[in-house]
Chains A and B, each alone.
Chain A
Amino acid sequence: MYRGGAGQWAWWLHRLSGVGVLLFLLLHILDTGLVLFGPEVYDRVVKIYVHPVFRVGEVGLAGAVLYHALNGIRITLLDFYPELSPRQRQIFYGVVSVFILLFIPVAAKMLAPLF
């Protein structure tokens, strides 16, 4: 059991990002389903993803997927190589560092059309 500290944060953010991505996935299955109703219906609805509010939301989604992916690698590594567990805190800081390195350019690229 984690009692506070980096591991607790990693775990909590993993659940939060997972639930967020799942909720978007359900919405995204519904919006993609509109292709069955033809181009007029589909194009009118997916246009909302170009709106600035949604673009910021999409950056949040990309951040949630990226964090969940990187921390998922950390979890899997620790599960299959338990000898790494004394270093779980350093591995979490590694996850945060790689997240920042990847997320900043991705967010910049996704938000560039707004400026």
Chain B
Amino acid sequence: MADLSAAGARPRPTGGLELYAWLFMRVSGIALLLLALGHLAIMHLINSVEDINFAFVAARWANPLWRIYDWFLLFLALLHGFNGVRVMVDDYVRSPGLRVVSLVALYSLVLFFLFAGSLVILTFHPLAGG
């Protein structure tokens, strides 16, 4: 019997890009334990949705460390989710044509959101706009 990953019904990759993708899911997952659960705790337990407005974001992002935190969260969460969907396309989309279309759509979507999210985190200035 092949060596099966606990993630599901596919053998653990033994080399190449798939091995790096598999390792990335574990490493980014461990980082996201801190980043994503920390983000939820800060926004929903320490603060609350009533507190979140433009002034809250401006005060928070006045500290570059929070911008770095949020940028890591953005990148790791998006890439982790992207790779998860990529594996699901592999599992569920059987027709070769549809696979290409799905993967092109997925790559484009992720690149767009990585770019848009980075733009927001890096260029936000409380006095500009509005």
Residues of chain A having any CB pair with chain B under 8 Å: 1-2, 7, 11, 14-15, 18-19, 21-22, 25-26, 29-30, 32-33, 35-43, 46, 49-50, 54-55, 58, 62, 65-66, 69, 72-80, 82, 85, 88, 106, 109-110, 113
Contact = CB atoms under 8 A, between A and B. Distances in A.
Interface of A is mostly: helix
B57 A42 contact: yes
B59 interface: no
Interface string B37-78: 100100011001110111101100000000000000010011
B81 A79 contact: no
B7 interface: yes
B26 A79 contact: yes
B129 A38 contact: yes
B36 A43 contact: no
B9 A1 contact: yes
Given A29-B74, A35-B124, A58-B49, A11 B29 contact: no
A74 B3 CA distance: 17
A54 to B, nearest CB: 8
Q: Which range contains the number of B residues in contact with the other chain?
A: 35 or more
Interface of B: 3-9, 12, 26, 29-30, 32-33, 36-37, 40, 44-45, 48-50, 52-55, 57-58, 74, 77-78, 81, 84-85, 88, 109, 113, 116-117, 119-120, 123-124, 128-130
B50 A113 contact: yes
Nearest to A29: B117
B54 to A, nearest CB: 4
Contacts of A40: 130
Given A32-B57, A65-B40, A113-B50, 5 more contacts: A11-B7, A25-B78, A29-B74, A33-B117, A79-B6
